[in-house]
Structure 1
Amino acid sequence: GLSLVIKTVQPSDFQTFTCVLKQMNAVISKTTIRLSRVTVNVKPGALLVKGGTLSLTCDAERTANFKIHWLNPQGDRVATGGAFTKTEVTKQDAGVWTCVLTHDGRESRATVSVTVLDLSPAPPYPLFASTSSLDLTVPCSIPDHLSWENFKAKGLQRGKWSFVPSQASNLISGNPEELGSFSFGDSPTWKAVRDRYYVPDSKNSLSLTMKRPKETDRGEYVCTLEFGGGVTLKSSVHVEVLQMQYPAGAQTVAGQPFNLSCSLGHDLGPDLRVKWIPPSRSALGPLSSGQHLSVSKAGYGEYEKWKCELWRNGTRLTSDEIRLKIVKPPVSVWLLVTICGAIVIFILFLILVLILRRRNRQVLVMLPKPKGFYRS
């Protein structure tokens, strides 16, 4: 063919090329093509923090003869003209942006790759734990395709975890509490405010682990990265803690009724239900699926293990359990009064009998002998 192929375009190749077709030294046709330089610029740079502003420009030689439009990383046409600005960028704006130039029915494209720094998405649902759980991990990380060097290049200064208690946590204050902070050297270094919270060493993870969740741990956990200029990235996770409420001292009387409840500190939503698991040797029939359970009679063993499970649409979220101590029925106070009263009456009766017997003996001794003759 008569096509000219330039494998590696150099700056000197941006010029006019002429294709001349001759026959017997006679010019049959002559075609002139100009290779124009197209430059795509991105400001403030190809590396952006979520929430920032993306500015793109597409400059081409002899732009008056070109029509320009833009394609976003999803391939959608979003704007026309040589300049385009996008505010409040998100992870959807990361990828390859394309400047499309059209001239005389021909289309040319120039691209630029944009990276948006953000934390990995938080779970769409709350995290569930119980007061029986050993620990709970609240996720926070950066995507695998990013590195901490990318974040430090944009002025990353520090990170932290903070906690905002919910009304169900039984805490008076609703103010954020800082649980610990990160410094960034070669890798993140965690410094906890309290020993209950720690962050396992991991390449891209800032996930927070708390030991032995309690009902006061209900609330919002916020993972924050702070950059220069007041720029921040945040990921928020809501935590629910299931707690079983039971008789005082975790004990009840054999043969007596008692009540149990399984609660998140607020009413369950329509998609949540509680499933009760009775002791393995219990003869109870099917139990209710509500938060509250009334048991008509405690067993006569030494202990009973009761368990409640929290379910959503066929998925068990968490569970809590209690080892309930069974004590022997105490002796009734009225029974004691009756027994003591009977004993007192019996003693009084004995005393009365003894007194009467003594009086009868004294009467017999004092009676005079009748007059008459007696055999000597």
Structure 2
Amino acid sequence: MLFLFGVITFIMTGARCEKPEVLVEVGSQAILPCKSSDISRVSPAIVWTKGDTSTVWRKTRSGLQSWGSKWSNKGNLRVRCPHSQFERGDYSLEINNVSEEDAGLYTCKVEHRGQVTVTDVMLRIIKVSISPPFPVWGNNILVTCNILPRPRDASVQWMLNNSPFVPRSAMATDKAESVVTEKATMKLSGNWTCVIGYEGKEGRASATLSVGGIVQPPKENTKLYAAVGSAVTLPCVFSSGLIPLSATWEKVKADSFSKSALDHLPPSFSQNPAQSSSDKSARLNDVGFEDEGEYRCSGTVEGQRLTQNMHLVVAKIVQSQKKNSVALTCELSDASEVTEYEWVHVIYDLNNTQSISDVRKGKTLSIKGSEENFGEWTCRFSGKEGILGNVTHHLQLMSGLSGKVTSSVSKNTGVIVALSFLLIVLLLVLVQVYKNHQRRKRIFQYPALETIVHTISNEREERERSRVKK
């Protein structure tokens, strides 16, 4: 009799199903499952409550719906139970924009044809918080992962920018809450994710950490590339809203690890006083090969002295003459990041339109002494992440004459020498003709003398004829 009474009571009052667990991030949507295997076209009565006392959502058999006062504040309904799923026996509850106060135990009661099915659902909310919310580089930060309600057994794993993160110092109040203590650096900026594992389920929550400090250059010892004779900007930009005090620039001597071992800044170094309060960038207007090396920008923010080092790499092209060719070598003060050199021959038409006529590989370029190879050559050097920089050299025609050009010059020289000799002979002939003319001109100025000369000449001819007759 007692067994029969228990079976009847179970059928009449309903059955309590296994309690599922739902883990969601604060501010997201939570779906609390409630399903029944008894599918019918007859509309059931459904009641969702929290803690068995507070009504969340209710629907009568007639279809009338009502919400608890907490869930319908000023007409903003954060919960709903989609009717389109009722025919499939799915009475799951959707909660939008969940808060930490929403965490707890929920109960779903479905009354259908005199049978009541009860489902308990535990909603756990995961939240990641960062303190202070906007730390300055060098200050202490706390990154906290919390889950409510706190389960007894749960695993916690940290991810930073989608990569596993193992904190150097961490303390765990229990297995569901972890507080990471670190010194704020730019490496810790980004997306922090807390992954909670509990009873075969996984939930995660994230928060973004922005560390205030020097954002440009983005990392320590960033390499900047510039060509000899060009202008280059040395970036030093602080986070928006930070106003550094006593911002200074220094050049560190090569192979020196001492802060006091400083070098002189280049003559073309200048800072723009019209820049914004957070931009302390500098500029080299005429880069020399000797300007390469380490530069340091620093400033004081909220009592912390922030510094960022950068390395200026200078590029130049060295030309050398060889037999029948010219060699161009692309030289860098630091080529540790260079993986490829590429030479580009640039030509210009009558409209000054630029075009590329030739592309070659290699650090050193050998050019034959033909006229079409002269002009502008640009060396582009690349690394693993793409093109690092370039330097241009103008190859003059006379500086590389050889081969056919040399023989052509030799032929032209012979022609010039021959013409010069003929000109000298012609000048001598003209001088002699001029002298004869002047002499005759002086004789014509004395007619009597001319007559005497003529008579003497005639008499001499007569005597010569008489001698011949005898």
Q: TM-score, normalization: structure 2?
A: 0.42
Indicate yes or no: 2:326 matched with 1:234: no
Kindly indicate whether structure 1 or structure 2 has the higher relative contact order, using CA contacts under 8 Å at least 6 residues apart. 1
How far, CA to CA, are the matches of 2:122 and 2:153 in structure 1?
Answer: 13
Q: How has the CA–CA distance of structure 1 residues 163 and 78 changed in structure 2, closer, same or farther, with 3 Å as cutoff?
A: closer
Q: How has the CA–CA distance of structure 1 residues 15 and 176 changed in structure 2, closer, same or farther, with 3 Å as cutoff?
A: same
Identity rate, percent: 17
**2:218 corresponds to:** 121
**1:93 corresponds to:** 188
How far, CA to CA, are the matches of 1:263 and 1:13 in structure 2?
Answer: 66
Q: How has the CA–CA distance of structure 1 residues 16 and 70 changed in structure 2, closer, same or farther, with 3 Å as cutoff?
A: same
**1:57 corresponds to:** 144
Look at both structures and tell me which one has the larger radius of gyration over its CA atoms. 2
How far, CA to CA, are the matches of 2:197 and 2:289 in structure 1?
Answer: 64
How far, CA to CA, are the matches of 1:13 and 1:266 in structure 2?
Answer: 62
**1:331 corresponds to:** none
How far, CA to CA, are the matches of 1:320 and 1:200 in structure 2?
Answer: 34
* Number of matched pairs: 261
**1:69 corresponds to:** 156
Task: Output the amino acid matched with 1:148.
Answer: S
How far, CA to CA, are the matches of 2:203 and 2:382 in structure 1?
Answer: 52
> 1:227-274 CA deviation, whole Å, 9 max, x = no partner?
2344413031224375989xxxxxxxxxxxxxxx9998989999899x
In structure 2, the gaps of 5 or more residues are 1-89, 167-171, 320-327, 346-362, 365-374, 397-470
The structure with more helix, counted as a fraction of residues? 2
Partners of 1:309 and 1:318 within 8 A in 2: yes
Q: How has the CA–CA distance of structure 1 residues 236 and 23 changed in structure 2, closer, same or farther, with 3 Å as cutoff?
A: same
Partners of 1:218 and 1:240 within 8 A in 2: yes
**1:5 corresponds to:** 94
Q: Shift in Å at residue 165 of structure 1?
A: 4.7
Task: Output the amino acid matched with 1:198.
Answer: Q
Partners of 1:244 and 1:322 within 8 A in 2: no
How far, CA to CA, are the matches of 2:273 and 2:121 in structure 1?
Answer: 62
**Correspondence 1:37-48 to 2 at 5 A:** 37-43=125-131, 45-48=132-135
> 1:60-84 CA deviation, whole Å, 9 max, x = no partner?
3342434132342432344594224
Indicate yes or no: 2:121 matched with 1:29: no
Q: Shift in Å at residue 2 of structure 1?
A: 0.8
Task: Output the amino acid matched with 2:130.
Answer: V
**1:160 corresponds to:** 248
Q: Shift in Å at residue 309 of structure 1?
A: 7.8
How far, CA to CA, are the matches of 1:210 and 1:311 in structure 2?
Answer: 21
- CA root-mean-square deviation: 5.2
Indicate yes or no: 2:391 matched with 1:318: yes
Q: TM-score, normalization: structure 1?
A: 0.50
In structure 1, the gaps of 5 or more residues are 168-172, 180-193, 246-260, 278-288, 291-305, 324-376
How far, CA to CA, are the matches of 2:151 and 2:281 in structure 1?
Answer: 54
Partners of 1:243 and 1:264 within 8 A in 2: yes
Q: Shift in Å at residue 215 of structure 1?
A: 5.2
Task: Output the amino acid matched with 2:150.
Answer: T
**1:212 corresponds to:** 286
